[in-house]
Structure 1
Amino acid sequence: MAISIKDVAREAGVSIATVSRVLNDIDVVNEDTKKKVVDAIKLLGYRPNIIARSLKTQKTKTIGILLPDVSNQFYPEIVRGAEDVSNIYDYNVILCNSDLDVEKEKEYLRVLREKMVDGVLYMSSSLQEEILELINELDLKTVLVETKDKDGRLPSVTIDNIKGCYDSTKYLIGKGLKNIAFVGTEKDNMNAWGDRYIGYENAMKEAGINIDTDLVYFDTIKVKSGYEAVDEFIRRDKKIDGVVCASDDIAMGVINRLREKGYNVPKDVSVIGFNDNYVASVFYPKITTISQPTYDMGSVAMRMLIKLLNQKELEEAHYVLDHELIERESTI
């Protein structure tokens, strides 16, 4: 037989209204009475009807986390940071994977609204205007993670992705390399990944090195893009002494394909990644990369969102966390 709120009230010797106040964390209940109610809940094993509570309070204590690629090692650490903070504040998490599909992202946003989530942490392969309009139309409290919209309408937690890839490119230039390729996504993409090409472009121009479009390969940030890029550079008969990659996954693909084609990394070609996923530190050769504070990105974003949900003012609307270049064995 299911335990009801009436049973809890009877066990604690209080009214149903008092039990309701305790469950909804309303401060008017004194500590002694609150303890009686909590003890009764534990003794009886009572679990509140979340749907009924949400209809009354218009809050579900649930937050949606939308990410573009659950197979990418970059995102789990962000989710862990976010979930650790959500647990502190008694929020539950619904995780959604869009598979780099904009239509799937839009559908998930609608589903999260239907599920009455209180807010959303949004990591996206795209920040197209239609997505921003949908978030506004659905009236979803949203914090962006890893990227930000061009007009800064939504709060965000990022690193400086342009500076990050500028630093990685400048690092290779500082090693005396000039035939430096880039593998990533186009700069017109409205997200962090597109910003990384801008960083590469800025560093090359600053060094007075003309960008050879035959040494630029745009696709996804997955391993296969690294494989395909090397094949394309070889087909174009281009000399390469360095490759700037927009992700560690790309770097792994580049290194493996170069090795299969008889090139030594880093003796013949230096390769630098981006993100500092765990695999980058154990791959052979260990990958030089730009490290992002992924756990902190998730935890900071979740704290921001919970403040918004509780109608508290944000100290900062756009946090830009520090990145770091990690030197390993894939560069000379």
Structure 2
Amino acid sequence: MEKQTVTIYDVAREAHVSMATVSRVVNGNSNVRQNTRNKVLRVIKDLNYHPNAVARGLASKKTTTVGVIIPDVTNIYFSELARGINDIAEMYKYNIILASSDGNTEKECRVFNSLLAKQVDGIVFMGRDVTTNLRKAFNDAKVPVVLAGTTSKDPVEPSVNIDYRAATDEAVSQLLNNGCQKVGLVCGALKYSINREYRLAGYRDALLKKQVEFDEHLLFETSESYQDGYDLAPRLIQNGIQGAFVSDDELAAGILNGLTDASVNVPTAFQLITGNNTKFTRVVRPELSSIDQPLYDIGAVAMRLLTKLMDHDVVANKNVVLAHQIINRNSTN
């Protein structure tokens, strides 16, 4: 019998038991006699039967499948989060449907609804922000949603992050304490809450503590690409900036190379701290100082939180904030 033709009916017929008994064995129900269980398991092995997750979930109303929405599969930040999600999903016997939103707010809603149509038991969302339309979709859904490495202006959804405001404050404070009189903030679009409500706020916190007046000319919005960073370097030099906190590692690598090509020495004449501590920080020279986010752990904890919500467990803290630190390398004094 070919593998793809094997059904629960075939197993039941060969084992001389009911399909309900096979279902109980497959789902780990203890209400099956041991000799019957052994016989069914032997037939499953002989026929190379692989239970269909959707069909198996009809009785329990679960598909043992979760959806994961990622804005950019090529971005190291999100791919590292996804690795943590996947490992915990496997541990708890969940299959993953990974869907890319391409960072498009309209597509996020379409992808979300598409996953719901596949009857997933829950969704982990990674993105730049939670729009009004997306929040409505979350609220209308009958499955739990957890944000991973994703903030919103009003953090009502269960989430796992670091304290991005405090981290930015620490990075900018370090640059000011290192003697940089003009410190820039280079980040993604301020329309996203992570940049507007957290990073910009943390930047202002650091300036206020040092009694440094905020200057909008030291604030730069970008698309967080390498080329954006490289092209931005001359403007940073022209504005007399001596140090910068950069939200994204690839963006920071572009700035570093742009400064180097303009004969600006890092860290003697310009200091850099970046935001994610991915491999980009270590493949450039000098290596980049960075906020160290536990990216794998953020994904793993988000998935574990989702499993608890899917099982209707009591969760005391639905907005988890993990610890961060600054790793100093050769781009700072």
- Bin the TM-score by the shorter chain: over 0.9
Which of these residues, 200, 203, 209, is aligned with residue 197 of structure 1?
200
User: Displacement, 1:205?
Assistant: 1.7
Code of the aligned partner of 2:102: D
- Whole-Å separation in 2 of the counterparts to 1:45 and 1:35: 15
Corresponding residue number in structure 1 for 2:120: 117
Map residues 249-260 of structure 1 onto 2, 5 A cutoff. Answer: 249-260=250-261
Corresponding residue number in structure 1 for 2:314: 313
Corresponding residue number in structure 1 for 2:140: 137
- Whole-Å separation in 2 of the counterparts to 1:15 and 1:214: 74
| 2:329 equivalent to 1:328 | yes
C-alpha contact 1:288 1:329 (8 A) present in aligned 2: yes
Change (3 A) 1:94 1:192: farther
Map residues 223-238 of structure 1 onto 2, 5 A cutoff. Answer: 223-234=226-237, 237-238=238-239
| 2:51 equivalent to 1:45 | no
Code of the aligned partner of 2:156: R
User: Displacement, 1:328?
Assistant: 0.2
- Whole-Å separation in 1 of the counterparts to 2:220 and 2:101: 24
> Is there any run of 5+ residues in structure 2 with no aligned partner, and where?
none
User: Displacement, 1:184?
Assistant: 0.3
C-alpha contact 1:181 1:244 (8 A) present in aligned 2: yes
- Range that drifts further, 140-149 or 108-117: 140-149
Corresponding residue number in structure 2 for 1:6: 9
SS of the residue corresponding to residue 263 of structure 2 reads: coil
C-alpha contact 1:186 1:194 (8 A) present in aligned 2: no
C-alpha contact 1:54 1:60 (8 A) present in aligned 2: yes
What is the TM-score with the length of structure 2 in the denominator? 0.93
- Whole-Å separation in 1 of the counterparts to 2:155 and 2:200: 21
Code of the aligned partner of 1:322: A
C-alpha contact 1:214 1:233 (8 A) present in aligned 2: no
Code of the aligned partner of 1:19: V
How many residue pairs match? The answer is 330
Corresponding residue number in structure 1 for 2:187: 184
SS of the residue corresponding to residue 264 of structure 1 reads: coil
Structure 1 runs of 4+ with >4 Å offset: none
CA RMSD of aligned residues (A): 1.9
User: Displacement, 1:252?
Assistant: 0.6
User: Displacement, 1:14?
Assistant: 2.5
What is the TM-score with the length of structure 1 in the denominator? 0.93
Deviations 1:272-330 (A, max 9, x none): 10110022123211000000011111111111101111111113211100001000011
Change (3 A) 1:225 1:135: same
C-alpha contact 1:230 1:257 (8 A) present in aligned 2: yes
- Whole-Å separation in 2 of the counterparts to 1:123 and 1:201: 26
Code of the aligned partner of 1:248: D
SS of the residue corresponding to residue 90 of structure 1 reads: coil
Corresponding residue number in structure 1 for 2:131: 128
SS of the residue corresponding to residue 22 of structure 2 reads: helix
- Whole-Å separation in 2 of the counterparts to 1:31 and 1:121: 38
C-alpha contact 1:204 1:211 (8 A) present in aligned 2: yes
Corresponding residue number in structure 2 for 1:292: 293
Percent identity over paired residues: 35
User: Displacement, 1:119?
Assistant: 0.7
Change (3 A) 1:65 1:325: same
C-alpha contact 2:54 2:62 (8 A) present in aligned 1: no
- Whole-Å separation in 2 of the counterparts to 1:230 and 1:182: 13
Deviations 1:23-62 (A, max 9, x none): 2333322444333322221111112234433444432111
User: Displacement, 1:151?
Assistant: 3.4
Code of the aligned partner of 2:165: I
User: Displacement, 1:84?
Assistant: 0.9
- Whole-Å separation in 1 of the counterparts to 2:146 and 2:195: 15
Change (3 A) 1:193 1:285: farther
Change (3 A) 1:326 1:30: farther
- Whole-Å separation in 2 of the counterparts to 1:174 and 1:35: 69
- Range that drifts further, 304-313 or 29-38: 29-38
C-alpha contact 2:167 2:324 (8 A) present in aligned 1: yes
Corresponding residue number in structure 2 for 1:206: 209
SS of the residue corresponding to residue 6 of structure 2 reads: coil
User: Displacement, 1:174?
Assistant: 1.2
